[in-house]
Structure 1
Amino acid sequence: MAFHLTGAAGAAVRVTVTEAIGEQVRLTATVHAPDWTLTVPEEWPSSLYRATFDVPLENRPTTCEAEHEVWFAVRAARPGTASRILVPIPFATWRAYTHAGQPHRGLYYAEQPYRAARVSFASPGGGPPPERWEEGLLRWLPGAGYPVDFCSGLDLHNGDELLSHYSLLVVNGHDEYWSMEMRDSVEAFARRGGNLAFFAANTAWWQMRLEDDGRTMVCHRDAVTDPMTAVDPRRTTVEWSSAPVDRPENTMTGLSFRRGAGAWGEGMAVMGKEAYTARFAGHWAFDGTGLTDGEPFARGALGYETDACALEWTDGVPRATGVDGTPGSFVVLATADLRHWREYGQGGAATMGVFRLGAGTVFNAGTINWGSVLADDPVTDRITRNVLDRLSGAAPGDGWDAAGGPDEVRALAVCESVLFGADTRGRLLCREVSGQNLPWRPVGTAPRVRALAAGREA
């Protein structure tokens, strides 16, 4: 790994490389030349690392500390042998928000026409934003007994071979910028039977492109100014759900920030007051939590942005309508009404759920801030363990998914897309065939019925 120390002018520079998750110093050295190459020792674990360069004050081109550090991920030498879980670090999003040093270096902090449309990964800084949305889960994983492999999110660009070694990809925190190749690889992974867990929100909101052999990220955020619009509209750098791309992110994630909520600036203080409401406590994701339907949980985990989907309600049970691109197999596990957040930024909702994508299973917690409460909240801890254990294959379950409670039903039959049941009170009930815990509706009487059947021609 090659580093170039701009402005050091041959001065002695102290380099410290730290494993960022455990703050363990792995290497210290003194560099006298502007170019330095780090050969990563084989014994270094796959993890997130930070290289800090202590440049003498008289040689510093700026006084911004972010100018003197570089973050990077070390992949496993033998992918998938120590863990079946892969965690990408969202360097593209971190780089988009970087604004250290020269003005207008990031994709934010100044409005059109002054902000950048192209940013280089060769620039200094590029570490996590001050809020460090990813840190909570990253620090929780080793203490909770989960060895995981790490990679850069950019490794998912044409990442089919890398992903083939894993059972579960965990997207964490704020992973907002995805290339078409990243998304193609992740969706193909799921369709082949790989599983996805999004402890995140605002995921894959912007499409970006990688150029210069991956050294430059391009995101115009405007189809009119992006020359690719006239060449290959699929790669235009706009919101994934916008024309001419028209590929809503929730076909991959199940949820979208379009219906989510956001609290920014001073309004972020509202995050600690919000909680999810359980809507399907009988689902495997809630095993061991003791929750019941209608009970609040995960207080403080919602924000600073959340994702949601369009819902319809039947007798207090929510169901995804699919009108916004959310797959029909999506099962709603929890909801939060955050319309009052319009006072702080964007009013909306938060949704937690799970669905099938090809042969794979996708879980989505629907919030950027999930990891911040893991260390202190036993319910979010248990849910996270349930998801990791089941989707990594460590505790795959019995192959069955609950679709609701039996409600005294003792005889069942299915006719086309409708379930019919006879209960112990002599009622004939029906409900739609769905993974959602939809309520039974009385449609007639069935006294003393012990069994039901439907003919093939029915």
Structure 2
Amino acid sequence: MLRISCMAAFSRIILLLLVGNIVYSSAYALGDIADGYTNHLSVYPGDSITLYLNAYQTTPGYTIKLYTLQGQEVLQCQATVSPQLSDSKNTYEDGFGYKRTTTVYLPPTLKSGVYLWENKIPMIVKSSTAKIIVLYPSNTENAYCNSGGKSLYSFNSSDKAASPIVSFLRPMSIEPHSMEFLRWMEQQDFQNVGYITDMDMDEYREIKRASLLIITGHSEYWTLQARKNFDRFIGDGKNALVLSGNTMWWQVRYSKDRNQLICYKNADKDPIKSTKLKTINWNEITLNYPILRSLGTDFTLAGYGRKADKGWDGYKVIASRSPLLEGTKLKDGDILSCASDELDGAPLSGFENGIPIINQEALGFQKVEIIGYDHVARGGVDGVATWIVFKANRSSGIVINTASTDWCSRHGIGSNPDIQTITRTMITRLLNHEYVFSPETSKEPASFAN
């Protein structure tokens, strides 16, 4: 085994922290690959994918490995790896421009999932036959990534100036709010599970055959076509499980070559002529496509979970007879712990005995129920986060919306056994079209309710 001196190991750690402005754990820093990316965000088994790897030193015949999120090696190939230098000044926008390391043909038998090349470079493998589709929030990860010096945000961009355009062809890590769910899901025994990226949502064929769509983590950036496809899916009588908060907050679009994510967050600065395609907040009147129409909640009605001192860092249960809570001992008034960064809320008409009441007129849904709620705040204004279940109309599918960025993180499914149990129950019931509302919420038979 090759031994590395303490000074050499320390140098590798420092170098890794500097390259691409991405921070990885020291365990990864001791590896031979500093960073890298792929030419496609997602592929099918049997497809090819090109790797662009940046190594600490030139190594002929280096063994490149592909891992599951559980750390299981599933594939390896050999290629010469070398240190890489970017060929662009604005790498955050133009891409890093690394030279091709190798092209890998994936085995036709490779299972759909989220994988990591060298335990650090994400790759999503899709399925054309899945009944459960898990949506990985690749747009959100790119939006917050400051690899190359800038993101869509000023707080982590050079000179505190955000860029309205960021490249997918640069080093990125796994979206942190989704990580624990993805690991958990990898260990479950659900059959026919497939994974896609945000960009794949632009193509309805990617979800057409599925019965259940699961949105994970922090799914903040959506294109117009992705939203239309989501609504079409529900309108076709399919079901969705939204395990995300601050969901569908910004409209985005892609460059013609689909290598860039575009979001100006300001209608006047966005050069596109079409008013409907301006990359602004989805609740802006000019877009005429409010978030509530799709999700029953939005961020403006709730806020930040860990910055409000009136809440409980979790949901207070008010529907203990809900079949979604089967397998837990949760009672009305109990707190389902899930400290969250951001949460969404449904429109309320007020409170009755301290319990929030849904504003049915504002939503216009056939049937809606609050399972739990939390007091949050945003910009000094109090809000109410709501975990809801709804059926928009008689022919539409069911949507369960946990409305939290951290349901899928270490604060939620990664540490709370009740959330693990509830998540499995929600998936199972939606997949099997079983009853998902509390018995007292409707006199209609289960066949209508679902």
Q: TM-score, normalising length from structure 2?
A: 0.74
SS of equivalent residue, structure 2 residue 287:
coil
1:91 aligned partner: 138
1:361 matches 2:398: yes
Q: CA deviation at 1:379?
A: 2.6
1:180 aligned partner: 224
Equivalent residue for 1:45, pick from 111, 119, 142: 111
Consecutive aligned runs of 4 or more in structure 1 exceeding 6 Å deviation: 6-10
| Equivalence map 1:84-163=2 (5 Å) | 84-100=131-147, 102-108=148-154, 109-110=156-157, 114-123=161-170, 125-129=171-175, 132-147=176-191, 148-158=193-203, 160-163=204-207
1:404 aligned partner: 440
Deviates more, 1:147-156 or 1:217-226: 147-156
SS of equivalent residue, structure 2 residue 316:
strand
SS of equivalent residue, structure 1 residue 22:
coil
Q: Is the 8 A contact 1:91 1:127 kept in 2?
A: no
Equivalent residue for 1:164, pick from 190, 193, 208: 208
Equivalent residue for 2:129, pick from 50, 75, 79: 79
Q: CA deviation at 1:206?
A: 0.6
1:251 matches 2:301: no
Could you say if the C-alpha distance between residues 360 and 104 of structure 1 is closer, same or farther in structure 2, counting changes exceeding 3 Å? same
1:336 matches 2:374: yes
Q: Is the 8 A contact 2:283 2:291 kept in 1?
A: yes
Deviates more, 1:21-30 or 1:275-284: 21-30
2:315 aligned partner: 276
Q: Partners of 2:70 and 2:310 in 1: how far apart?
A: 27
Q: TM-score, normalising length from structure 1?
A: 0.73
Aligned-pair Cα RMSD in Å = 3.2
2:275 aligned partner: 233
SS of equivalent residue, structure 1 residue 151:
strand
Q: Is the 8 A contact 1:208 1:217 kept in 2?
A: yes
Could you say if the C-alpha distance between residues 22 and 12 of structure 1 is closer, same or farther in structure 2, counting changes exceeding 3 Å? same
1:191 aligned partner: 235
Q: Partners of 2:159 and 2:295 in 1: how far apart?
A: 29
Q: CA deviation at 1:30?
A: 3.6
Q: Is the 8 A contact 1:302 1:369 kept in 2?
A: yes
2:51 aligned partner: 3
SS of equivalent residue, structure 1 residue 291:
coil
Could you say if the C-alpha distance between residues 316 and 3 of structure 1 is closer, same or farther in structure 2, counting changes exceeding 3 Å? same
Letter matched to residue 232 of structure 1: S
SS of equivalent residue, structure 1 residue 156:
helix
Equivalent residue for 1:307, pick from 339, 344, 352: 344
Q: CA deviation at 1:161?
A: 1.4
Could you say if the C-alpha distance between residues 234 and 111 of structure 1 is closer, same or farther in structure 2, counting changes exceeding 3 Å? farther
Residues 7-44 of structure 1: CA distance to partner in whole angstroms, max 9, x if unpaired?
99976484533334221122333423742111111222
SS of equivalent residue, structure 2 residue 300:
helix
Q: CA deviation at 1:116?
A: 1.0
Deviates more, 1:325-334 or 1:252-261: 325-334
Where does structure 1 lack aligned partners over 5 or more consecutive residues? 54-68, 407-411, 415-434, 436-458
Residues 28-66 of structure 1: CA distance to partner in whole angstroms, max 9, x if unpaired?
33423742111111222111112239xxxxxxxxxxxxx
1:16 matches 2:52: no
Residues 259-278 of structure 1: CA distance to partner in whole angstroms, max 9, x if unpaired?
222257xx69x899623111
SS of equivalent residue, structure 2 residue 385:
strand
SS of equivalent residue, structure 2 residue 427:
helix
Q: Is the 8 A contact 1:223 1:237 kept in 2?
A: yes
